[in-house]
Amino acid sequence: MPETMPFPAFDDIPFPAFDDVPPLREAFAPHFPIGAVLSRQALQGRESIDADLAARHFSALTAENSMKPEALQPAEGQFTYDAADRLVEIAEACGAAPIGHTLVWHAQTPAWFFVDSDGSPVGRDVALGRLRAHIAAVVGRYRGRIGQWDVVNEAISDASGEWLRPSPWREAIGDDYIAEAFRAAHAADPDATLIYNDYNIELRGKRAKTLRLLRMLLDQQVPVHAVGIQGHWRMDTPDFAEVEEAILEFAALGLTVMITEMDIGVLPTQYQGGDVSVNEVMTREQQAVMDPYVDSLPEEVARQHAARCQRAFEMFLRHKHVIGRVSFWGTCDGSSWLNDFPVRGRTDYPLLFDRRRRPKPAFFAVQQAAQAAC
């Protein structure tokens, strides 16, 4: 690594506000949309500064939790669209693309989808009817306004020797619940880009399973248009050569590649990925090692984080002809889910803006990578 990095030093910035630097979206306009997610608090007006930050700097906006099944339809036929509507309104007001996330997932889905009034498991026909009805209602509401949907989320198993995750959707309907979800989404909005979204699918083992799924769907003429690599990464993993290999393999299927949930955590962990059921425990004795930056992020670590982000975006930009979008999973460090995952109550620094919504060295590294690629 060169002694002088190609982005400003701390002393040179000196931490301007998010509206005192050129919008990041302008640097990426010649390449691909650059996105972020908005939390439920931001969409409810409790963290309006995050909405302002996202509207200025990002050209694609995703709801972090407000469009998942439990948020939109907590009880059968009872839809709660307020936060989802707000996401679309914010995006349309600033000229950003609203992203639909997510229609079918094993988590954050109410139990009523899978049981009858007595609590007994429903049969395939009932479960499939509920899946279709949910997708028809949600995608239909935003037809012509939301142009991209994460249709099925995290259907591939992490277990060795196992292909698909044993989710409640699979148990109720069968393996074809994935194909049925894509068909229902396409019927509700034939012009929308439909995405299969998952974590760790850039790694060779899980990638092989994902390629098997995608080839099967394409062979069956299922309307899947893109694959979403979530991108929950760390400072030392994954190897970007492996990520680049994955981008090329997915693109070879004729699919657009999205980076849908990017963050680069700086804290130590034994886990890589996005399985929300993972929960590591940090003892008091381990805190100094597992949560070392409670007060602030050391300048040298911030530089290393910026360099890692820069290398990631140089890779994306090399393949911009197949990259449809890169979205960060959060707006600023304080709102990142990594503060509570996979260890609760830590202080992580995975995004481009700090807890005071000021651009970090990583912001300038990413911005300059985009400018250099023009």
The token pair that represents 5 in the structure block: 């990095």
pLDDT digits (tens, 9 = 90+) for 167-208: 999 999 999 999 999 999 999 999 999 999 999 999 999 999
Give the DSSP H/E element, type plus range, for residue 153.
Answer: strand 148-153
Give the residue carrying structure tokens 């993972």.
Answer: 278
Q: CATH number for the 10-372 domain, one of 3.20.20.80, 3.30.479.30, 3.40.50.300, 3.30.160.100?
A: 3.20.20.80
Cβ atoms of 23 and 56 closer than 8 Å = yes
Cβ atoms of 65 and 30 closer than 8 Å = no
180 is catalytic: no
Spatial distance between the Cα atoms of 240 and 98, rounded to a whole number of angstroms: 28
Spatial distance between the Cα atoms of 149 and 325, rounded to a whole number of angstroms: 12
Residue 120 is given by DSSP the state: P
Q: How many CB atoms lie within 10 A of CB 82?
A: 11
pLDDT at 2 over 70: no
pLDDT at 6 over 80: no
| pTM to 2 decimal places | 0.95
Sign of CA dihedral 130, 142, 42, 199: positive
Q: How many CB atoms lie within 10 A of CB 159?
A: 9
Please provide the size of the chain in residues: 374
DSSP assignment of 270-315: S--S--TT--B---GGGHHHHS--SS---HHHHHHHHHHHHHHHHH
Q: Which of 47, 64, 154, 202 is catalytic?
A: 154
Angle at 341 between CA 335 and CA 344, to 5 degrees: 90
Average confidence score pLDDT of the chain: 94
pLDDT digits (tens, 9 = 90+) for 145-178: 999 999 999 999 999 999 999 999 999 999 999 9
Rg (CA), the chain: 20
Query: What share of the chain has pLDDT > 90, as a percent?
Result: 89
Cβ atoms of 53 and 61 closer than 8 Å = no
pLDDT at 115 over 70: yes
Domains in the chain: boundaries = 10-372
pLDDT reported for residue 181: 98
Range 240-253 average pLDDT: 98
pLDDT digits (tens, 9 = 90+) for 252-281: 999 999 999 999 999 999 888 898 989 988
Range 356-363 average pLDDT: 96
Dihedrals phi, psi of 351, to nearest 5 degrees = -115, -170
Q: Which of 180, 202, 249, 261 is catalytic?
A: 261
261 is catalytic: yes
pLDDT at 7 over 80: no
| Residues facing residue 115 across a β-bridge | 121
